[in-house]
Chains A and B, each alone.
Chain A
Amino acid sequence: MLQAEEVSKRFGGLVALSAVSLDLRPGEVHGLIGPNGSGKTTLLNMISGFYPVDQGTVSLDGVALNTESVAQRAQRGIARTFQKPRLLGPLSVLDNAMLGGWRDVGSSFLATALSMPRAWREERELRERATQMLKGVGMAHALDRPANLLEHAEQRFLEIARGLVGRPRFLLLDEPAGGLTPTEIDHLATVIRVLREAGIGILLVEHHTDFVFRISDRVTALDLGRLVRHGTPDEVRNDAEVIRVYLGA
């Protein structure tokens, strides 16, 4: 279980998060919603390690991660996507996706330089895995295309595929539906359901509340850095406070 307990974060005088708790279990979709400035992305950044925690603990299976870097957490099987896709432009879609399997690359620089069999084995295996993931999420048509020529939706799905190549236990999605057409959001939902079936724990930070309620097992709602409501989609959707926050005072 991936957990954030009573985490708080300030930026100068601004309190971004105040004693928020959230946990993510394998094989579930946990939606995280809130208006702009509610702290959703901040929380995701803190769980993945991009922001240090001011107070509170981020832990995996009871082991505190507070002092671990982004890379170290990724090595533990915590993958993520970004609000604004971070891709390697000149490289192909396949190359970009293969990079997601880095944590399964055991070959050292020297072993790689010497063309050791293990390095080639890892290369072949990751290429195969990446190809399957890309085809699975819907990017079969663009495997060799340079990433800087991709449409927005393609970029998003590439990032998801990349996150999967490393066989993650948890996948943190940062507003993956942003800029997608309704059809594409349906595709996204299909993909997320398959991931859930496969036992991956998914944190879905999203603005599209309908989409979140549709697909999540549990939902957490934030406002101005505080936890407003946590529960099943129905509980959260019908909560008076949540409605007030979303429809304005």
Chain B
Amino acid sequence: MTERSRVTRIAMLLIGAVLLVVLPFLVRDQYQLHLAQLIGVYWILIAGLNLVVGYSGQLSVGHVGLLAVGAYAFAIIAGKYDIPPLLALAACGMIGGLCGFLLGLPSLRLPGFYFAMATLAFAVIVTEQSVAQTELTGGGVGLPVPGFNAPFDTPAGLYWLILAVAALITWLSWNVARLMWGRALIGVRDSEVAARSVGISIYRAKLIVFIFSGVTAGLAGGLFSSLQSYITPDTFVFELGLFFFTCIIIGGRGSIIGPFIGTIILTAIPEVVAPLARLGNFFYGFLLLVVVLLTPEGFGRLIQQVLARFSGKVNESKVVAPDPDLLRKALQGARN
């Protein structure tokens, strides 16, 4: 990457970060702030799910179940048992991770469609049980959810809490993506044969990433429920799980920024473009189909390719020309 483009990138990131921090002062009304909070919460879950779906290629459509677990856990721990909210939130993350482990353990060995159905089944069980276990979850009536303590008890305060958690999760997933683990996960996704041949333990990798996505879903669930201030089983419809999944596919697999933009667009558009609000889920399905048929790598990749066209000459040589001396030296230096 050239010096100039690196500086540009850092500058853009800084500007973006500043804008995000001062956002509560920029928006016009409560409703827009709420929208930003919602996008933030969704992104916390999606950032983790991105490593599962976009990187390791495991098509989990039922992550809404983990969101629900986190949400109910927060409502119960902070609400019923009166534990300090931040502590409760941390517990939600751990519970989410545990559920991710329990769900992933049997399911990740299954082939693609079977796995997707297993995650769907999980979401269905969570819904069923949140209705059935009335003592714990309030059944169909649901539970009220407490807010956080100062300084997070105002809308702006809650927004900054969400922003902080989102920033942390984004940083964690970004690190994984750009280091060797990121490549390994893409290996798991695109060629298990190649991945195994270089020593990657496929199942273990999938499970670890899935647990991480459980933690982020748990955290997202806790924040989500506090944001909604009242949750019922109906809050966590299966379509929400599809929504998360679609944000990632549309934004582009193998990227962090793509799904982030996908989340913003898919959350905001139905709010901004009124007719689309009614079409809501149909619109997500339609977009998903368009992406799959036209640009399976997602819109992020499409933009990348378009930009690459304009970025100057590309070395077009296709001739393989070994350098034996260099190879000799390289092998010498590297020998066990």
Answer yes or no: A and B touching, Cβ < 8 Å.
Answer: yes
Q: Interface of A with B (CB < 8 Å)?
A: 48, 50, 69-72, 74-75, 77, 79-80, 82, 86-91, 95, 98-103, 105, 107, 109, 112-115, 119-120, 122-123, 126, 129, 132-133, 135-142, 145, 150-151, 153-154, 157, 162, 164, 166-167, 169, 184, 187, 190-191, 193-195, 197-200
Minimum CB–CB distance from A1 to chain B (whole Å) comes to: 16
Closest B residue to A81 by CB, please name it: B197
Choose among B180, B200, B317 the residue with the greatest number of A CB atoms under 10 Å from its CB.
Answer: B180
Interface centre among B183, B197, B200 (most CB of A within 10 A): B197
Stretch with Cβ within 8 A of A (4 or more), from B132-140, B226-234, B326-334:
B326-334
Name the contact of B331 in the complex, choosing from A48, A99, A114, A164 (C-beta under 8 A): A164
Please indicate the chain B residues that have their CB under 8 angstroms from the CB of A86 in the complex: 191, 193-194, 197
State in angstroms the CA–CA spacing of A231 and B36 once bound together: 73
- Cα A58 to Cα B183 in complex, Å, equals 30
User: CB within 8 Å of A: which of B156-206?
Assistant: 171-173, 175-176, 179-181, 183-184, 186-187, 190-191, 193-202
Do A99 and B322 touch across chains, with their CB atoms under 8 A apart?
no
Is there an interface contact between A141 and B319, defined as CB atoms closer than 8 Å? Answer: yes
Compute how far the CA of A72 lies from the CA of B81 in the bound complex, rounded to whole angstroms: 47
A112-B180, A129-B334 known; A137+B322 contact, CB < 8 A = yes
Closest Cβ neighbor of A75 among chain B residues: B199
- B238-254 residues with Cβ-Cβ distance < 8 A to A are 254
Report B327 CB to chain A, min CB distance, Å.
3
**In the complex, what's the smallest C-beta–C-beta distance from B296 to chain A, in angstroms?**
10
- The answer to whether A198 and B175 touch across the interface, beta carbons within 8 angstroms, is no
Is B320 part of the contact surface with A, judged by Cβ < 8 Å? yes
Q: Which of A70, A91, A145 contacts B197 (CB 8 A)?
A: A70
Contacts of B183 in A (CB 8 A): 88, 91, 95, 98-99
Cα(A196)–Cα(B145), bound, Å: 68
Q: Tell me, in angstroms, the Cα distance from A193 to B175 when the chains sit together.
A: 39
Q: Which residues of A contact B201 (CB under 8 A)?
A: 69, 71
Q: Which residues of A contact B319 (CB under 8 A)?
A: 141
Contacts of B328 in A (CB 8 A): 136, 194, 197-198
Known contacts: A87-B194, A113-B175. The answer to whether A133 contacts B320 by CB under 8 A is: no
Tally of B interface residues using CB under 8 Å: 50
Q: List 26 A-B contacts (CB under 8 A).
A: A71-B201, A72-B199, A74-B196, A87-B191, A88-B191, A98-B183, A99-B187, A101-B180, A109-B176, A112-B180, A113-B172, A119-B175, A122-B180, A123-B179, A132-B326, A132-B330, A133-B327, A133-B330, A135-B327, A136-B327, A138-B320, A138-B323, A142-B315, A145-B315, A153-B320, A198-B331
Contact check, A102 vs B199: say whether CB atoms are below 8 A apart. yes
B297 at the A interface (CB under 8 A): yes
Say which residue of A141, A166, A199 sits within 8 Å of B199 (CB atoms).
Answer: A166
B7 within 8 A of A: no
| Across-interface contacts of A69 in B (CB, < 8 A) | 196, 201
Interface residues in B262-321 by Cβ distance below 8 A to A read 297, 301, 315, 317-321
Looking at chain A's contact residues, is the secondary structure mostly helix, strand, loop, or mixed? helix
Q: How far is the CB of B90 from chain A (nearest CB, A)?
A: 16
How far, in whole Å, are A212 and B336 apart by their CA atoms in the complex? Answer: 28
Given that A133-B330, A142-B317, A198-B332 are contacting pairs, would A90 and B324 also be in contact in the complex, using a CB cutoff of 8 Å? no
CA distance A115 to B177 in the complex (A): 11
**Contacts A88-B191, A109-B181, A126-B180; is A136 near B202 (CB within 8 Å)?**
no
Residue B212 at the chain A interface, CB threshold 8 Å = yes
Expressed in whole angstroms, the Cα–Cα distance for A215 and B328 within the complex equals: 18
Q: Measured between alpha carbons, how far is A107 from B173 in the docked complex, in Å? A: 15
CB of B86 closer than 8 Å to a CB of A: no
Q: Given the complex of chains A and B, what is the CA–CA distance between A142 and B335 in angstroms?
A: 25
**Which of B315, B317, B329 interacts with A132 by CB under 8 Å?**
B329
Tell me the bound Cα distance from A98 to B200 in angstroms.
13
CB atoms of A136 and B322 under 8 A apart: yes
Judge whether B336 and A169 touch: CB under 8 Å: yes
Chain B residues with Cβ under 8 A from A135's Cβ? 323, 326-327, 330
- Interface check B98, CB cutoff 8 A: no
With a CB–CB cut-off of 8 A, which chain A residues contact B176? 109, 112-113
Evaluate contact between B323 and A140: CB separation under 8 angstroms. Answer: yes
* Beyond A86-B191, A109-B176, A135-B327, 15 additional pairs, beta carbon < 8 A: A50-B193, A71-B196, A74-B198, A98-B183, A102-B198, A113-B176, A115-B175, A119-B180, A122-B179, A132-B326, A133-B330, A135-B330, A136-B326, A138-B322, A190-B322
